[in-house]
Structure 1
């Protein structure tokens, strides 16, 4: 009995080893479709080719390269499947299981994954886990879109239940598998099924039911050329007859078994010799190919030698011309930068000269005013004291504005200022800034109007917008007459820009000065109004801030009739 179990177990594994070529038809078609679809993925194409050629080592190499270089879910699933099958064929079963578990639920062939996992678990004697996989596949409908060998799945279920000694279920599935194998005309699988059924009955001591199946397996084995199968089936018959006490017949089977065993050994030797001869022939052919390749390479090298020399000389000539042109271009750039730097240095020198002069004048005026203030304080002349204090406040405000503009100009030039664009309501900013200048406007009885639309939004840096408005309002007040008018309003002139206009009824600006002020690199100019000196630094700072915010600056003015300072700012992109 022990011998029967040993040799029939060898036949059990036949239940999941044979595969029909048609089983892989749909898979190969889908692989070719995806190779065509993802032409740019070279490693995927190579992995697919070697997988279909059953070159498992090369499949593993190119699939791991592709996995490290893609995030495409379809390619990732196919690469894990390629690797799992490759590891399975190389008998690295645990690695194969890991790869199968990496495949997502969206893979087009989940039943193939389950089938392979079931076969591996059966090899590892994990029969209950294998049953779960095979049952999931067996429940699938018989559909032409699903290509797997159902008879092999049913056979494997029978084997699993046989190992678990669940004989009723084992008998059910093994008998059904034999019927399916018979319909498929799969002789090898049918021999295995008959042997497994015989083993099922023989294990339960149901000899009368077992022996006919052993005999069927033996008779069918005569139709195949598998010497290993023939020897195993014949040995089973010999053991059965020994147990029955029919020793002459058992001896006959033993002799036949020895004959098939010798044939199997001879076949193995012949196969080994054939493999050696094939390898030797391939090596000889490879040597010939290598020799021809070496000769061709030498000829190609000789033929292309002059061509490479000519190309090298041409490249050197082109490089020489390129560097010469670059040198000429760089020299022009350096000269242009030098001219611009000289102009900037001149602007800086004049800035320091004007600022220092104005600071000195303002401080000197403040000093003299303070001396007069002290003298009038002793005489308690309140009217005079009030005028002197107002004068000191005006001088202090002028100096503060000058120093603040100088600081902002310095930060802008050294690129240290904080700058962040955001959605700004123009009306609120104008209202806020005009509030700070109400004392100055009241001092000159200036009437102020904020006519900016409350719905106008601009996309600018808030702090730089405040600097622009502060300087424009300061200039409007400074150069306005007593009881003048300052109006701030907005106009929509373009779909992407909004015009902010500061209009005053002051002394105005001449055409010549307007052109100078609008120049990109205009030097600072000086203007006078009631003894107040302006450096022009604030207007230069405004232009720089407007440009940085992506806006434009215009001046409309006529001497004696007032001025319009026009700032065109980008609208709020999120609401426009």
Structure 2
């Protein structure tokens, strides 16, 4: 496919007004094909002084640095990585991790361990605070290799254990996607089978009428036999009922997750499709302001879809006891800071201000990652139901001698009395409690489940048109 892409791009004439964009794409193709010298040739035709797009500059400098790294021209590679760093903002965690890792490899390949190892460690520490499982997986692997080469085998084994844990998490996530795809194919096959059966049903009606009498007689015999076996199996009813109940819960969970994939994803996918069509139209009209507007809208839809898939993943892992859960002692304020940091750009793009007031010195006994999942869901909901510009206030305080209190107050649309009663009445948690018309979705159910596992409590205070306050109570150390 890369070769086909190269052929199409080369067919574009040199008088095309986006000629440099064409060269950059050709450079990217040859980088992916590992033709590093050819990639550099195309990238060198780009004049970065002709653009003010800092993201584009950062990405191109990064790719050129990678080419020189693979060609073992470490001096030039380092030079381009340093150029990339100029355009990386402090809050761009993903880009910082990539930059530090690549620059560390430049030094490590030159046996400059004193320069390389601190960078590997900084990338690893940043990845621990970032949501990407792949980054945690890669950076922990790097640290395991570094410590092994330093003959610090105890530390290497610890990093390797962490690497294996994240590798298993990636496998679980990909397995859920694979199962979802299989379920979709099965559903399509079932629908096709239903159509065929309907056609055959019309043909069989005449035969069925003639065989009705014989069928009735057979049914009576079947009922008599069923009564006999029922008497024999009466002692096993209790076990059968328990299995039936468990099967019903599992079936309801499967049906709901399938519904999420087949129904809830349809709207954002169609929306992204329409936005791509609009994007193509605006590019053809050279309306760059409209291109930026459509791109921002597409990013928002993608974020919402990613949030939905994360909830499906976390719920599935939790229900199958595969979600890693380890309660330990953590400082609450830095943990809240980490979560809010990831929402600064999103909130700013929607004219939503986020303020915070954290009581310092609070140590809580929680599973850090599951509490982050709860906080992200609640902040996502606050942004989602904001109805335009507004504010979100996040505070922490000491509720009692044994509990800390976290409040997330928004100025959004609020909830009706019926919706508030519904979300505050969730005590026995199961998939059949979901009723999105009353504000109870998979995300809220997941929040209640994880807070309960942390031996805490979650409840809401709200008034329609005046915003919502989510309150989380967790144990103090």
Identify the TM-score tier after normalising by the shorter chain: 0.3 to 0.5
Task: Give the TM-score normalised by the residue count of structure 2.
Answer: 0.47
TM-score, structure 1 as length reference: 0.39
The structure with the largest alpha-carbon Rg is: 1
